[in-house]
Amino acid sequence: MSTTESGVDFNDYRHVIGMMFFGGAGSNIARDLMDSIKPKDSPDLLLFVTNTDGKLLQEHFGDANISPLREWLSANALTVHQLGGREVTQGRGAGGESEEGRKAAETEVSKKAMKEFMERVDKVILIGGLGGGTGTGAIPVAAKLAKELNKETLAWVVMPEAEEGRADKAAPALELIRELVPTIKIQNDDIDEWIVDQIPDEQKRRALTFKQAWQIVNQRALVPLIVTLQDTLQNPGDVINSDAADDAAMMKMGHYVLLGKADIDDAEKVAEKNAEEIIKKLLACPFQDNRIIKRGVVASIAALGPWPKMLMKEIARGLRKEILGENPTRNIGVNIRNRSKMDNGKMWIAVTIVAKDLNDPTQPALPIPAPAQIAVVEVAKPLRRIPVPVSHRIPPAPPIVIQEVGPLVEAVASKASTGSNGDTPDIEIPNFIRK
C-alpha cells in the first residue's frame, strides 16, 4: 500500500508483460516489433530474444549502438540470450532438429536465463515459428517452465507453409504447446492470398523472396496483431467483467485463441458506422484459423477510442450471434471494455475468442452463465500510468550481452553489419514494394 500526494491509498499494481521470441522467426519479429513500439511508450513491456543461431543473433542484436536497440537496451527492457550456450549447438543453430532446440532450452544456462526473465513479469507471451529446430524444440520447454512458475502464459506461433515440407514437425509441436498454454496459431499458408492487396502488381509480387514476403507480413500484419494483443492484455480495466482476473479466467476456458481487429480510419465518423461491416472486419482474421469463431466458448471485446454505446452494443450482439450460429445448446458471454481516450488519433476494436475444441460442433453450454446483459465499461487510464514508488520498480535487467557466444559467432561478429545508417535489418525491401 502506498499514499499519493493527495493522501489516497492504493495498492501499487503494475502489470508487466514479458514477450519471449524464439529462433529465426522470433528474431525477425522482435526486430520489427522494436521498430514499431518505443520502450518509453510501453514501460511495462520486457523483451527476451533467444536463438541457437549465434550468427543471426549477432547480426540482429549485436550492435547496441543502433536504433531501436539502443533505446530498448538502455531502458533495461531487452535480454538477448544464446540458447544452449556452448553446451549444445556452439552457436551454430539447431539445423532444423527440434531435438537440438529442446536440448538447448533445457541446459542449465538457458533454463536459468528464461526463468530469471519470467520472474520479472506477470504475463508471458511466447513467440516463434514452428517447423525448424529452435522454436519447435524450445517453445514447449519455455511453456512448461512458465507454467511451473505459475505465470499466465499465451503462445503465439507461426506455422510454415505446406510447401516448406515442415508440417510433420510443426503440427505435433503445436499440439504440445497448446496442451500447456492457450495458443494463437498464425498460418503462413495465407501469405500468398493476403499479399495480393498489399502488392497488387503481379510481377512485383512474384519477384518477392521468402524473406521479403515475411518482412512485409511481419511489419504490416503480425507485429500490429502482437501490439494489439499486448494492449488488450495490459490494459484490462478495473471494473467487474473486465479486469485482469477475467482475462486469466477466460484463457483457462480453452486453448484455441483467436484475435481479430478492426481499425477505424476516420474516427470522427464512427457514429455512422455499420455494426455488420465492423463485425466482418473483426472476424476476417487473416492468418488465423477461423473455425475457432464458431466454436468459441467465451469472447471479449476491447475497444480504444470514444465508441458510441449503441454501436458497441450492436457489435457485441452481432458477434454473439456469429459465434453461436444456429446452435441452441450453446451460450456465450461477450464482454465489452472501452478505453475512451484515443491513441494518437487512432480508434480500433478487437475481439478475443477462446475455444476448447474445434471438432465438436455441439459443444456443451458454457459452465458459466452468460451475463444478464452486456456490460459496457468505461475504463480509466491504463493501469501503467499509476505512479509507482522506486522500490516497486522492476529490478534491473542482467547485463545485456549475447551470452555464451560460440566460436562461429566470434568469427562473424566483427563482420556483422547492419546497413549504411545502422538502422536497417538484414532484409532489404526493394523500393518498388515499399508502400
**Residue placing its CB nearer to ligand GTP in the complex, 44 or 53:** 53
| Whole-number Å distance between alpha carbons of 234 and 385 | 12
**Residue placing its CB nearer to ligand GTP in the complex, 62 or 160:** 160
Are the C-beta atoms of 140 and 22 separated by less than 8 Å? no
Degrees to nearest 5, angle at CA 20 with 14 and 24: 155
Q: Which of 30, 80, 94, 301 binds ligand GTP (CB under 6 A)?
A: 94
**Residue placing its CB nearer to ligand GTP in the complex, 142 or 251:** 142
* Dmax (CA) of the chain: 66
143 binds ligand GTP (CB under 6 A): no
| Whole-number Å distance between alpha carbons of 147 and 123 | 11
84 binds ligand GTP (CB under 6 A): no
**Residue placing its CB nearer to ligand GTP in the complex, 95 or 422:** 95
Q: How far is the CB of 358 from ligand GTP (least distance, A)?
A: 22
Degrees to nearest 5, angle at CA 398 with 146 and 100: 50
Stretch in the footprint of ligand GTP (CB under 6 A) among 37-45, 91-99, 292-300, 370-378: 91-99
Query: Amino acid identity of 258?
Result: L
**Residue placing its CB nearer to ligand GTP in the complex, 72 or 156:** 156
182 binds Mg ion (CB under 5 A): no
**Residue for grid cell 492487396:** 197
* Host H or E run for residue 273: none
| Whole-number Å distance between alpha carbons of 141 and 407 | 26
90 binds ligand GTP (CB under 6 A): no
| Whole-number Å distance between alpha carbons of 61 and 54 | 10
Secondary structure tally for the chain: helices H, strands E:
16, 13
24 binds Mg ion (CB under 5 A): yes
Q: Using CB under 5 A as the criterion, what x/- string covers residues 48-87 for binding Mg ion?
A: -----x----------------------------------
CB atoms within 10 A of CB 231: 20
96 binds ligand GTP (CB under 6 A): yes
Using CB under 6 A, which residues numbered 148 to 207 contact ligand GTP?
158, 160-161, 164, 166, 188
**Residue placing its CB nearer to Mg ion in the complex, 213 or 292:** 213
Going by C-alpha positions, the residue among 35, 124, 17 that lies closest to residue 384 is 17
Question: What are residue 9's phi and psi, to 5 degrees?
Answer: -90, 140
Binding partner of residue 254 among Mg ion, ligand GTP, none, CB cut-off 5 to 8 Å per kind: none
Residues forming contacts to Mg ion in the complex (CB under 5 A) are 23-24, 53
Residues forming contacts to ligand GTP in the complex (CB under 6 A) are 23-25, 28-29, 52-53, 93-96, 101, 128-129, 131-135, 158, 160-161, 164, 166, 188, 214, 217-218, 222
